[in-house]
Amino acid sequence: MRWPSLSASPYCSTKKGRAYLGDALELIKEIEDGSVDLICTSPPFALLRQKQYGNVSSREYVQWFMNFAREFRRVLKPQGSLVIEIGGSWNKGQPTRSLYHFELVLQLCKMEEEGGAGFHLAQELYWYNPAKLPTPAEWVTVRRIRVKDAVTNVWWLSPSSNPKANNRRVLKPYSESQQELMRNGYKAKLRPSEHQISTKFDVDNGGAIPPNIIKDDVFPNDIGAPVNVIAASNTSSNDVYLRRCREEGINPHPARFPNALPEFIINLCTEEDDIVLDPFAGSNTTGFIAEKLNRRWLAFELNEEYLKGSKFRFPELDSRQVMEGYSEAQANAATQGKLFPEEIKQGNLFADVTTQTSE
């Protein structure tokens, strides 16, 4: 497969990828039809409280996004995937939710003749982030009539009804009880739900098939917070990206992906050497994970400060890391097809707090 050739020079490049500074809507026009395997991205959400990188209002959101969507559809291979992480928002002055992200997915899946982009919804996934702030404060912490909004929707779409995917690449470690079952055997029986659990239930298939909630690890001390998905997790704050941003006086991106999200999606939807594009790349978490997983990547970002910081994710682009050789082991620890490497479980590697909160 040929590397997509753009006339602009990349802002930076690595063995597997290229990052471009500019408007994704312009840059993408130069990508050939049907040449990208996966677009994995988090666009600016339609938030009531604006982020420093700007957000489109929920009223104009669908129209704004559809310009990108048609290009996304054009550059994707027929069996490629478009995965969009998008948080909900609140209606101004009311304890009610905006429907903009549902309107978006409906429009994306309408036929082109109806003004849509002709995508199929392969599945909806959810990113659960217990580190989200309890906002809007008026409803959650002052009047206490709503709970913390801790999930964002992840729409998995494709030009085809059968996108390339393999859930064997995202298996989770078996739970204690399943491991015990596999050790001690299982008697086939009917569950109260009337599902027949077969004798194959105790066969070790190399890991458990994951659910459609993407989360990192489970930490008991978060269970007290009332959230709208029952699960728990944690974040740490000392990864190489943040440390180097601090050292160089660069503001870290305020709404980074958790590593686990692109890791899950890239493993699920692509194979080695496939091409992954993040058109709203921010700090380029997607490119960082794609590189680790041996996929080729393209990143577009409007804001130079974010791309400057993103270079710290790649030791080869950061002379200080090369000189001091201190980050190689940590940078390499991000996965080899495993969703939760040991370093993440111990909470000592990644700092990812997705802070594009739905305020």
Positions in the binding site for ligand SAM (CB under 6 A): 23-25, 42-44, 53, 253, 255-257, 280, 282-283, 285, 300-303, 306, 356
Nearest-angstrom CA–CA distance, 286 and 296: 11
Nearest-angstrom CA–CA distance, 240 and 247: 10
294 phi-psi bin (left φ>0, alpha ψ -120 to 50, beta other):
left
Nearest-angstrom CA–CA distance, 211 and 313: 29
Location of structure tokens 């590697």: 349
φ and ψ of 169, to 5 deg: -85, -5
Least separation in angstroms between residue 137's CB and ligand SAM is: 22
Residue 218 sits at the vertex; the CA angle it makes with 149 and 132, to the nearest 5 degrees, is: 25
Least separation in angstroms between residue 173's CB and ligand SAM is: 25
Instruction: Report the residue number, 14 or 285, with the smaller CB distance to ligand SAM.
Output: 285
Instruction: Report the residue number, 82 or 146, with the smaller CB distance to ligand SAM.
Output: 82
Helix, strand counts (H, E) of the chain: 12, 11
Nearest-angstrom CA–CA distance, 255 and 45: 10
Instruction: Report the residue number, 85 or 139, with the smaller CB distance to ligand SAM.
Output: 85
Nearest-angstrom CA–CA distance, 223 and 128: 13
Least separation in angstroms between residue 354's CB and ligand SAM is: 8
Instruction: Report the residue number, 61 or 139, with the smaller CB distance to ligand SAM.
Output: 61
* 3-class SS of residue 209: coil
Instruction: Report the residue number, 27 or 146, with the smaller CB distance to ligand SAM.
Output: 27
Which of 98, 108, 24, 29 minimizes the C-alpha distance to 63?
108
Instruction: Report the residue number, 146 or 285, with the smaller CB distance to ligand SAM.
Output: 285
Instruction: Report the residue number, 227 or 289, with the smaller CB distance to ligand SAM.
Output: 289
Nearest-angstrom CA–CA distance, 282 and 150: 21
Least separation in angstroms between residue 6's CB and ligand SAM is: 14
Least separation in angstroms between residue 242's CB and ligand SAM is: 12
Joined tokens for residue 216: 């990192």
Joined tokens for residue 252: 């870290």
Q: Cα torsion at 263, 105, 57, 127 (round to 10°)?
A: -30
Q: Which residue is nearest to ligand SAM (CB)?
A: 282
Residue 104 burial by Cβ neighbours in a 10 Å radius (0-12, 13-18, 19+): buried
Least separation in angstroms between residue 216's CB and ligand SAM is: 15
Least separation in angstroms between residue 87's CB and ligand SAM is: 9
Instruction: Report the residue number, 14 or 356, with the smaller CB distance to ligand SAM.
Output: 356
Least separation in angstroms between residue 186's CB and ligand SAM is: 41
Least separation in angstroms between residue 78's CB and ligand SAM is: 25
Pair 284, 258: CB distance under 8 Å:
no
Instruction: Report the residue number, 139 or 156, with the smaller CB distance to ligand SAM.
Output: 156
Nearest-angstrom CA–CA distance, 285 and 297: 11
